[in-house]
Amino acid sequence: MSKQDEAQERVLAHLAAVVGCCEPLAREPLTAQQSTELARVFKAMGDPVRLRLLSLIASHAGGEACVCDLTDVFDLSGPTISHHLKVLREAGLITGERRGTWVYYRVRPELLDQLSAVLVPAAPGSPAAMPADRDALPVVDA
Amino acid sequence: MSKQDEAQERVLAHLAAVVGCCEPLAREPLTAQQSTELARVFKAMGDPVRLRLLSLIASHAGGEACVCDLTDVFDLSGPTISHHLKVLREAGLITGERRGTWVYYRVRPELLDQLSAVLVPAAPGSPAAMPADRDALPVVDA
DNA sequence: CTACTGCTTCGATGGATGTCAAGGTAGACG
DNA sequence: CGTCTACCTTGACATCCATCGAAGCAGTAG
């Protein structure tokens, strides 16, 4: 699995290099490359099972969780859970480590931090921060 | 389109009700319902075109963008762009409004804010906040 | 060495998704 | 009214993806 982890390191490095650390999505438009890299991560989180796996791992005591702890939560077969964990792993969101009989997963807080920073809307001074009070979101009151 | 927007309002209200406003993903595990709601939004962002559309709209001057501004950026047909905008709309990420000939889209900052809050990793005091400094995740210095 | 457990990979399958061409709707302009 | 532009919807098609059963690999225990 070390070879896989090396590949994951490269993926994460690439993502960090392309996305940067703190470019809010609403500050300036993403390039095609940036959006491709980010979409890869969001797509990994775009599944209820994976999102729940992520939160289970992230909120687990000690910051890591054994696969055996995760399997029981869902009505899914072992291979399916393993598949979802692999997707999360390849997206750079988690890392897996085998210790003896069991495999333990933990999240990468830096990546979550990056994503959170990207999503933060309209930092003061950004173009979108001032709706020019044309009409401050009347929307359809229907 | 007002009927659509009504439906979107319900979706957003539902999401807000289920997800709450500020439950970090790493604080406590998501319920099945929460993860389903959140995954719907992340899945909408899990496509390079949609993510770029979102950032184009969010970063556009005045906080809104006309479809005509968006179409030229991509090598995609009109219907395809329209389809992606519909997905973003149904996820509650953007709203569309027709004014005269053109349709203008704008983002929902509240939802981006919620997502950002959910992703923020390991608030101090959370169980995952103390990685037991096994190995403090050297990460990519690259 | 053999057997057993935990987890992953492989192969297959039904359903979801991105894309486009064709057609439809709303508003503007004569 | 007719026509033109801007945008959306529909229908179809190729591709991707979540899921499972079966098989394979790693590590432990007799």
Which of residues A15 and B110 earns the better pLDDT score?
B110
In chain A, which residues have their Cβ closer than 8 Å to the Cβ of B115?
A: 119
Which of residues B135 and B33 earns the better pLDDT score?
B33
- Tell me the per-residue pLDDT of A35-90, one tens digit each, with 9 for 90 and over: 999 999 999 999 999 999 999 999 999 999 999 999 999 999 999 999 999 999 99
| CA–CA separation, A106 and A64 (whole Å) | 4
- Tell me the per-residue pLDDT of B5-55, one tens digit each, with 9 for 90 and over: 555 556 666 666 666 655 788 888 999 999 999 999 999 999 999 999 999
Contact A59/B28, CB-based, under 8 Å?
Answer: yes
In chain A, which residues have their Cβ closer than 8 Å to the Cβ of B139?
A: 12, 108, 110
Return the sign of the alpha-carbon dihedral for residues A52, B29, A4, A23.
positive
Looking at the predicted structure, is the pLDDT value of residue B122 above 50? yes
Look at A116-130, B1-15, B51-65 and tell me which has the smallest mean pLDDT: B1-15
Look at A4-18, B20-34, B47-61, B78-92 and tell me which has the smallest mean pLDDT: A4-18
CB-contacted nucleotides of strand D (7 Å): 5-11, 17-23, 26-28
Question: Which B residues in the span 39-68 are in contact with A, Cβ-Cβ below 8 Å?
Answer: 39-40, 42-52, 54-56, 58-63
Looking at the predicted structure, is the pLDDT value of residue B107 above 90? yes
B41, B115 contact by CB (below 8 A): yes
Whole-Å CA distances, B49 to A123, A125, B43, B46: 23, 26, 12, 9
- pLDDT value of position B85: 98
Looking at the predicted structure, is the pLDDT value of residue A20 above 70? no
- pLDDT value of position B25: 85
At a CB cut-off of 8 Å and minimum separation 6, what does A116 contact?
A: B116, B117, B119, B120, B121
> Which DSSP string corresponds to A124-135?
TTSGGG--TTSS
The chain-wide mean pLDDT, for chain A, equals 81
The residue of chain B with its CA nearest to that of A43 is B46
- pLDDT value of position B13: 65
Supply the pTM of this predicted model: 0.84
| CA–CA separation, A109 and B136 (whole Å) | 11
Smallest CA-to-CA distance from B87 within A127, A72, A46 is with A46
In chain B, which residues have their Cβ closer than 8 Å to the Cβ of A63?
A: 122, 127-132
Contact A58/B30, CB-based, under 8 Å?
Answer: no
Q: How much of chain A, in percent, has pLDDT values that exceed 90?
A: 63
CA–C1' nearest nucleotide, residue B43: C17
**Is B137 strand, coil or helix?**
coil
- For B107, the closest of A26, A60, A117 (CB atoms) is A26
CA–C1' gap, A2 and D13, in angstroms: 41
